[in-house]
């Protein structure tokens, strides 16, 4: 608590700055005469700016409704908390001024209002001529949480999203399943990787980590090799993210289930992961964290934000991490992260955010375990490479986002992101087993890779009405310029006995093996309309046109050059309908599509047609406990067509093998059932298989996809008494049997893992916590992704954390 200003006005001090906050907060402690509301220091609300806003606030408690009203209008709302006890506000919908909106919200409360020059809205009861307005117990609602799709989530339960529509929209208004992992979930579980965070979302499994240097996932049965940051996909040319991202700058993680091409262009049909980053704030804040744990884990993390001037704010997020791991002969994996961001807000109508991101990592290259006789029999810590096998990567990104509200119905924005990455690999590649079933052939590869991407998006958002029907229309244009260069040399390396490994082999002479260059220009135009037909029915329609011009060249070890032109044009539609019979239930149905250009060529040296995906989804979104606990139930079918596979007669070429299908039901739940009790959980049932193919057997299961999977995590923190601040929690993660490859030549068993936490808050600023993972020391295979991507789950481990917030 800030001792320079009395409680509860220390909240105001932190919100608007120590200087102005101290003057405003401390002045409110003084009694106010009955004529105070009519002096020049305050203005009657009905005389304020008559600008019109589009409101859509459901019927709810007066406190919550006024909080949303304040966020939309930019007003800071203050009142005695007792004034709102038991009061509810009616639904507010339509285009109106601040005054008209407030009249409707307060029409049955009997409350009056005034407005300070700083646009702080003060509520009070009507006063007689001999009464004094006593504001000594004013509570500042603006310090309470008012959620934005681009900002923090209070607790575990999110209510708004930007990923599903590229607009700030209520989750219940989007006709597709969208799940959000909040910052508090990351903190309570002490999560440092995207993979660990996504265990909190249904129908997601880890996929190939490319030797431990990256992260990719399987969503609803299909591989997702990339993700978005603040709504912009990273390079479309990569086969996996160039480096492992860090959670230090992540505010929330949103997962849009199913195809997302209408808004994001090329992509897989299973879904889209979007990382929403932490933005600079004009209220000073800082957080620090120090962690240490088993298997040589050490991490320092910090994030600092605050004003640099009246219109300029900045944030700096940093992290440094090292980990030895539990695998034999593992050396330190090192990861450094640095991300400064800036915000300039010269007026209420204009906002500019910009930032940089730097990642530097060095990791032991490790393809994991190999199967024998249809199973993985090796110990989880068995290492089949050499201690010198390593992967280094660095990445620099720069971005900005400018948004200007041109008038009361039209907003313009422009976003640009530039990525530049370099990767250096000196690694051991695993080949195949000899006939004795234990001698593994290997080779050495030295590879260099560079990736450069420029992504520019131009968008306009218009809010208007046609009669009684409200529209939020989005029109956009995107241009992407991408380049990727790869070069590698290869050499011999001694084989290794997988059951009795002896290390120390050195690579033989390296010779040129190949060089690849990929150049991409992509042009896209897209349109979306969110249509409120009435208070209960909402329609979403959209479509995207994409034109891709990609030129690939390759040079093999015999200096044979191959060139491929890829120039598909695709149109991706999307339509969905939401029915909301009550304010706690939303039913929806939708269709969405995806496409992904392919660089593979057939025996005629012609590029394959793009992969396409179509999803049909129905579902329900419920508030089991209003404003506390929410649930999403979804059923879906995804059909993926034009799938590429190696040509069985010439493995340097590819063929389009046909069709794959994923059907499933999933449930996600999150929220705070009671004060101090938080929970997040999910469960899914999926059948993902090959339905048509000329090479792969029909009905083969998709690799890495369990039929049953899910997780549950819950914490409780004591709210009163001598043990106030003490918290404990735990959870479980489970998955059933999974196939290892599309040919279904091997599989791995299911597992259930248990985690736990114990934490204690020392006042409002410090927390100490102890997190245990896999506390029963279960031996299991966590990731299965072909013969070069199988990884055992980590044995029982502990992480101790000391964190501070200021």
Task: List, in order, residues 6 or more apart from 83 with CB less than 8 Å away.
Answer: 111, 123, 124, 125
* 3-6 contacts at long range (C-beta below 8 A, 24 or more positions apart): none
The number of helices, as runs of H, and strands, as runs of E, in the chain is: 7, 45
pLDDT of residue 143: 36
> Taking the domain 31-143, which CATH number applies?
3.55.50.30
198 sits in the region (left: phi over 0; alpha: psi -120 to 50; else beta) called: alpha
Continuous segment of H or E residues that includes residue 432: strand 410-433
Give pLDDT tens digits for 293-305: 999 999 999 999 9
Q: Which class is domain 276-805?
A: mainly beta
The CATH homologous superfamily of the domain defined by 160-275: TonB-dependent receptor, plug domain (2.170.130.10)
pLDDT of residue 239: 79
Give percent of the chain with pLDDT exceeding 70.
90
pTM listed for this prediction = 0.83
Q: Is the pLDDT of residue 528 over 50?
A: yes
Q: Are 254 and 274 in contact (CB under 8 A)?
A: yes
What average pLDDT score do residues 524-531 get? 97
What average pLDDT score do residues 484-489 get? 95
Give pLDDT tens digits for 97-125: 888 888 888 877 778 777 765 567 787 77
Residues of the chain with CATH 3.55.50.30: 31-143
- Please state, rounded to an integer, the average pLDDT across all residues of the chain: 87
Q: Where is pLDDT greater, at 513 or 99?
A: 513
Phi and psi angles of residue 105, each rounded to the nearest 5 degrees, phi first: -65, -35
The length of the chain in residues reads 806
Continuous segment of H or E residues that includes residue 26: helix 18-28
Q: Is the pLDDT of residue 582 over 50?
A: yes
Q: Is the pLDDT of residue 389 over 50?
A: yes
Q: Are 91 and 535 in contact (CB under 8 A)?
A: yes
Residues of the chain with CATH 2.170.130.10: 160-275
Continuous segment of H or E residues that includes residue 194: helix 194-197
The tokens describing 175, both together, are 């006709």
pLDDT of residue 117: 59
pLDDT of residue 146: 61
Q: What is the dihedral of CA 92, 94, 96, 99, to 10 degrees?
A: 0
What average pLDDT score do residues 601-627 get? 89
Give pLDDT tens digits for 46-84: 344 456 777 888 778 788 788 888 877 877 777 766 677
pLDDT of residue 564: 83
Q: For residue 723, what are the CA distances in angstroms to 104, 641, 728, 757, 763?
A: 44, 58, 12, 16, 12
CA distance 182 to 128: 47
pLDDT of residue 84: 75
Judged by average pLDDT, the poorest of 625-634, 636-645, 713-722 is 636-645
Give percent of the chain with pLDDT exceeding 90.
68
Q: Are 273 and 296 in contact (CB under 8 A)?
A: no
CA distance 100 to 479: 42
Q: Is the pLDDT of residue 372 over 50?
A: yes
For the chain, first and last CA: distance in Å?
Answer: 9
Confidence of residue 35 (pLDDT cuts 50, 70, 90): very low
Phi and psi angles of residue 117, each rounded to the nearest 5 degrees, phi first: -60, -25
Q: Is the pLDDT of residue 384 over 60?
A: yes
pLDDT of residue 118: 58
CA distance 411 to 404: 6
Q: Where is pLDDT greater, at 11 or 389?
A: 389
Residues of the chain with CATH 2.40.170.20: 276-805
Find the DSSP H helices in 98-158. 98-105
- For residue 307, list its beta bridge partners: 313
pLDDT of residue 127: 54
Q: Is the pLDDT of residue 600 over 70?
A: yes
Q: Is the pLDDT of residue 13 over 70?
A: no
Handedness of CA 294, 295, 296, 302 (dihedral sign): negative
CA distance 257 to 268: 11
Bond from prior residue into 238 cis (ω within 30 degrees of 0) = no
Confidence of residue 137 (pLDDT cuts 50, 70, 90): very low
pLDDT of residue 81: 66
Give pLDDT tens digits for 314-357: 999 999 999 998 988 777 899 999 999 999 999 888 999 999 99
> Apex CA 63: angle with CA 60 and CA 68, to 5°?
75
Q: Where is pLDDT greater, at 440 or 113?
A: 440
Q: Are 711 and 681 in contact (CB under 8 A)?
A: yes
What average pLDDT score do residues 526-534 get? 96
Angle between helices 62-73 and 98-105 (to 10 degrees): 180
Burial (Cβ within 10 Å: 0-12, 13-18, ≥19) of residue 129: exposed
Q: Is the pLDDT of residue 283 over 50?
A: yes
DSSP structure string for 606-636: -BPPPEEEEEEEEEEEEEEETTTEEEEEEEE
């Amino acid at each position: 608590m800030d001792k320079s200003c009395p409680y509860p006005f220390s909240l105001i001090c932190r919100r608007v700055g120590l200087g102005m906050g101290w003057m405003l907060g401390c002045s409110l402690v003084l009694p106010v005469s009955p004529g105070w509301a009519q002096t020049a220091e305050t203005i009657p609300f009905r005389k304020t700016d008559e600008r019109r806003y589009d409101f859509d606030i459901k019927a709810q408690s007066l406190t919550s409704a006024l909080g949303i009203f304040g966020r939309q209008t930019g007003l800071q709302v203050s009142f005695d908390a007792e004034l709102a006890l038991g009061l509810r506000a009616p639904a507010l919908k339509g285009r109106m001024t601040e005054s008209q909106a407030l009249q409707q919200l307060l029409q049955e409360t009997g409350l009056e209002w005034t407005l300070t020059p700083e646009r702080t809205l003060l509520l009070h009861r009507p006063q007689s001529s001999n009464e004094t307005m006593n504001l000594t117990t004013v509570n500042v609602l603006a310090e309470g949480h008012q959620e934005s799709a681009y900002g923090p989530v209070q607790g575990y339960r999110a209510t708004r999203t930007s990923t599903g529509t590229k607009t700030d929209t209520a989750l219940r208004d989007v006709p597709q399943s969208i799940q959000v992992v909040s910052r508090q979930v990351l903190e309570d579980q002490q999560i440092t990787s995207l993979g660990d965070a996504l265990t909190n979302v249904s129908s997601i499994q880890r996929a190939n980590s490319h030797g431990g240097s990256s992260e990719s996932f399987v969503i609803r049965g299909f591989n997702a090799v990339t993700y978005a940051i603040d709504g912009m996909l990273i390079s479309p040319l990569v086969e996996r993210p160039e480096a492992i991202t860090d959670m230090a700058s992540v505010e929330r993680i949103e997962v849009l289930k199913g195809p997302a091409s209408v808004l994001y262009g090329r992509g897989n049909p299973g879904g889209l992961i979007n990382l929403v980053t932490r933005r600079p704030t004009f209220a000073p804040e800082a957080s620090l964290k120090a962690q240490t744990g088993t298997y040589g884990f050490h991490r320092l993390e910090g994030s600092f934000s605050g004003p640099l001037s009246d219109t300029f704010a900045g944030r700096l997020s940093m992290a440094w991490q090292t980990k030895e791991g539990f695998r034999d002969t593992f050396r330190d994996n090192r990861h450094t992260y640095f991300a400064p961001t800036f915000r300039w807000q010269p007026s209420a109508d204009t906002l500019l955010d910009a930032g940089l991101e730097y990642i530097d990592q060095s990791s032991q290259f490790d393809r994991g375990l190999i199967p024998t006789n249809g199973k993985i029999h090796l110990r989880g810590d068995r290492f089949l490479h050499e201690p010198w096998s390593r992967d280094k990567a660095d990445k620099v990104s720069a971005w900005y986002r400018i948004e200007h509200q041109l008038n009361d119905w039209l907003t313009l924005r422009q976003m640009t992101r530039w990525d530049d990455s370099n990767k250096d690999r000196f690694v051991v590649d695993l080949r195949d087993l000899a006939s004795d079933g234990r001698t593994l052939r290997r080779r050495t590869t030295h590879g260099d890779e560079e990736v450069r991407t420029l992504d520019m998006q131009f968008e306009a958002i218009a809010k208007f009405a046609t009669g009684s029907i409200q529209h939020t229309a989005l029109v956009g244009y995107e241009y992407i310029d991408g380049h990727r260069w790869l070069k590698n040399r290869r050499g011999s390396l001694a084989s290794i006995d997988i059951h009795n490994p002896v290390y120390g082999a050195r690579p033989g002479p390296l010779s040129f093996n190949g060089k690849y260059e990929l150049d991409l220009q992509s042009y896209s135009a897209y349109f979306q309309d969110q249509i409120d037909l009435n208070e209960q029915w909402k329609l979403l329609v959209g479509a995207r046109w994409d034109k891709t011009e990609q030129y690939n060249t390759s040079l093999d070890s015999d200096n044979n050059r191959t060139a491929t032109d890829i120039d598909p044009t695709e149109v991706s539609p999307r339509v969905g309908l939401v029915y909301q019979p009550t304010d706690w239930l939303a039913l929806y149905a939708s269709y969405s599509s995806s496409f992904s250009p392919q660089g593979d060529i057939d025996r005629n040296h012609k590029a394959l047609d793009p992969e396409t995906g179509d999803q049909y989804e129905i579902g329900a979104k419920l508030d089991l406990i209003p404003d506390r606990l929410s649930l999403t139930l979804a059923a879906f079918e995804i059909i993926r067509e034009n799938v590429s596979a190696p040509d069985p007669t010439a493995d340097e070429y590819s063929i389009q093998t046909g069709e794959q299908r994923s059907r499933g039901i999933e449930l996600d739940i999150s929220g705070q059932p009671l004060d101090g009790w938080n929970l997040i959980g999910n469960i899914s049932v999926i059948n993902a298989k090959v339905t048509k193919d000329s090479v792969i057997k029909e009905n083969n299961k998709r690799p890495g996809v369990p039929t049953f999977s899910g997780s549950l995590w819950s914490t409780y923190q004591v709210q009163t008494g001598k043990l106030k601040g003490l918290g404990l929690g735990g959870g479980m993660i489970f998955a059933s049997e999974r196939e290892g490859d599309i040919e279904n030549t091997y599989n791995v068993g299911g597992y259930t893992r248990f985690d736990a936490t114990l934490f204690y808050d020392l006042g409002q600023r410090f927390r100490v916590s102890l997190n245990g993972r896999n506390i029963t020391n279960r031996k299991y295979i966590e990731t299965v992704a072909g013969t070069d991507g199988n990884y055992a789950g980590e044995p029982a481990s502990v992480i101790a954390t000391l964190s501070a917030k200021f």
